[in-house]
Structure 1
Amino acid sequence: MEKLLRGYASPGTELDLCYPDDFAGSRVFQRMGEQSVLTGLHHALETPALVRKIVWAQVQGYDAVVQSNTFDPGVEAGRLAVGIPVVGLFRTSLHVATTLATRVGVMVPLDGHVPYTWRLINGYAMDRFVTSVRPIQVYGQDLVSRREEIESLAVAVMKEQVERDGAEIIIPLGGALIPYVVSPESLSRQVGVPVLNTKSVGIRFAETCVAMGISQSGAAYPRADLSLDDFDGHAAAR
């Protein structure tokens, strides 16, 4: 995955794939995944660990953080903790999509992702641009061995979004499926409208922020002066 992601970066950009440290409740994702019910609860539980990792990245000297999960967990909270750009793939891709088209279709892995995704879309005030959120009903283990099945199902769902919902561009969520297993470029050729590579979009936008010397607005995301130790200690009892 790291090799693939590095291929999306510009020459000279150093990109490392990092994960949050272990945290209480981390097994919730495993249990929910076994039941094919991913509703966003696991993302809520991991947010403190993600924020700590974002702070760690700033301490280590990274110029920006791109949340590789396409549902943007920890991004909003992380922006309150650091001064470097914190980029969410879904929010960034939504804005790129509406720059290139006016009607956006969103494809997600499972049924449980649908209401969760609509909450994100509404929170980003982008609901008037999104024509539908449709699931492919595939996730879990051994995805690489199911590449042909995943591609066929994705094409069918995306064509439905174009032909029935009027989508002019597609955002596929669930990076474990697209682009890690199926190429967005291949899907775009078969569907007839652009299918965004959310990973590439996020990485290139982060590069743009760094090159231009800009980050999330301090007026929108005011932050206290915090250290990494503040995320590890416990407040004294009063």
Structure 2
Amino acid sequence: MRIWYQSLGRLDAWGGYPAHLGAMIERARSAATEIVVNGTKRGIAEYHAALAHEAKGDVLHTLRRAVAEGADAFVIGNFFDIGLEEAREIAPFPVLGLGETSISLSHFMGQSYGLICPNAKYAARLEKRLRADRLDARLAGIAVLDMPRLTAMGDAFDDADARARLLQAIEQAVERDLGAAEVVVPAGGVVMALMDKAGVTRFGNGAPVLNGIAGLVAMAEASVGLARLQGGTFTSRHLSHARPDPQERTRIDELYGPDIFPHWTP
């Protein structure tokens, strides 16, 4: 089994994060699974709408590479799930996003979940997305940190004092804002990785911390297995992710080129 893990961050812009991300993925994968970890050349803060728009193109470009290189699944390691809907329309295999998968997994762990967000803009845009996708039904609250420059979190992987300060801020925010949450979900791969590096798996009130990176890998493996049991069927082609019929596909190829919808039949 071959899974493509597409991070939307520059893997040279986050201090010790890429190395720890790789270690987490290595621990999470099954022995027979190969994980291809790929970053982008530009991405650092896709919670800005303009950058998220640009990042969609990066996701779809690398998705087509994953198809060509024989991947069995494609996962988007970004909590906003940028490009998820478009990727599902294109890909011939399961496509999962970190945000949707993490929130879905939290439903198996408790009746409500709370989010840890790095700053107010991030929280506002994420809450809008959750409402639009109807993922907010069990949302108990959002703990908002004061981190306008997200790449600063990369320092905490290599600097124990910086990590201790950040963890203290997280604990205070969770205590203040997430008392009603049965499960705590760090809203982003970097925060998830920091919590893992610090060995934080639950808070003082007993609420577990979801390791969404491990969950994303596990669910991708399960999705591939389920697709095989279902004769290759996973993503629905009825309505939302329906593909063009052959006549329309021919016209799309003429206007956009043959790579828009790679290697599939309607």
Match of 1:236 in 2: none
Q: Secondary structure at the match of 1:140?
A: helix
Q: Give me the whole-angstrom Cα distance separating, in 2, the residues matched to 1:137 and 1:45.
A: 25
Is 1:120 the equivalent of 2:129?
A: yes
Is 1:140 the equivalent of 2:159?
A: no
Q: Secondary structure at the match of 1:151?
A: helix
Match of 1:168 in 2: 182
Match of 1:45 in 2: 54
Match of 2:70 in 1: 61
Is the CA contact (8 Å cut-off) linking 2:89 and 2:242 kept in structure 1? yes
Question: Structure 2 matches for 1:157-196, cutoff 5 A?
Answer: 157-163=173-179, 166-179=180-193, 181-183=194-196, 186-196=200-210
5+ residue gaps, structure 2: 1-20, 228-232, 261-266
Match of 1:7 in 2: 27
Aligned-pair distance for 1:211?
1.0
Is the CA contact (8 Å cut-off) linking 2:72 and 2:94 kept in structure 1? yes
Aligned residues: 217
Output the amino acid matched with 2:34: E
Is the CA contact (8 Å cut-off) linking 1:104 and 1:129 kept in structure 2? yes
Q: Give me the whole-angstrom Cα distance separating, in 2, the residues matched to 1:91 and 1:3.
A: 23
Identity %: 19
Q: Give me the whole-angstrom Cα distance separating, in 1, the residues matched to 2:32 and 2:204.
A: 33
Structure 1 residues 127 and 182 mapped into 2: Cα distance closer, same or farther (>3 Å)? closer
Output the amino acid matched with 2:102: S
Is 1:99 the equivalent of 2:108?
A: yes
Aligned-pair distance for 1:93?
1.3
Q: Secondary structure at the match of 1:182?
A: helix
Match of 1:86 in 2: 95
Q: Could you tell me which of 230, 237, 241 is aligned with 1:218?
A: 237
Q: Could you tell me which of 49, 52, 76 is aligned with 2:85?
A: 76
Question: Could you give the per-residue CA deviations for residues 121-177 of structure 1, whole angstroms, max 9, x where no partner exists?
Answer: 1122122211222222233232322211111111112222332xx111111012122
**Greater shift in the superposed pair: 221-230 or 118-127:** 221-230
Output the amino acid matched with 2:61: R
Q: Secondary structure at the match of 1:67?
A: strand
Q: Could you tell me which of 5, 18, 27 is aligned with 2:38?
A: 18
Q: Secondary structure at the match of 2:30?
A: coil
Aligned-pair distance for 1:215?
2.5
Structure 1 residues 89 and 229 mapped into 2: Cα distance closer, same or farther (>3 Å)? same
Q: Secondary structure at the match of 1:170?
A: strand
Structure 1 residues 161 and 11 mapped into 2: Cα distance closer, same or farther (>3 Å)? farther
Is 1:151 the equivalent of 2:167?
A: yes
TM-score, length basis structure 1: 0.82
TM-score, length basis structure 2: 0.74
Q: Secondary structure at the match of 2:242?
A: coil
Q: Give me the whole-angstrom Cα distance separating, in 1, the residues matched to 2:144 and 2:203.
A: 20
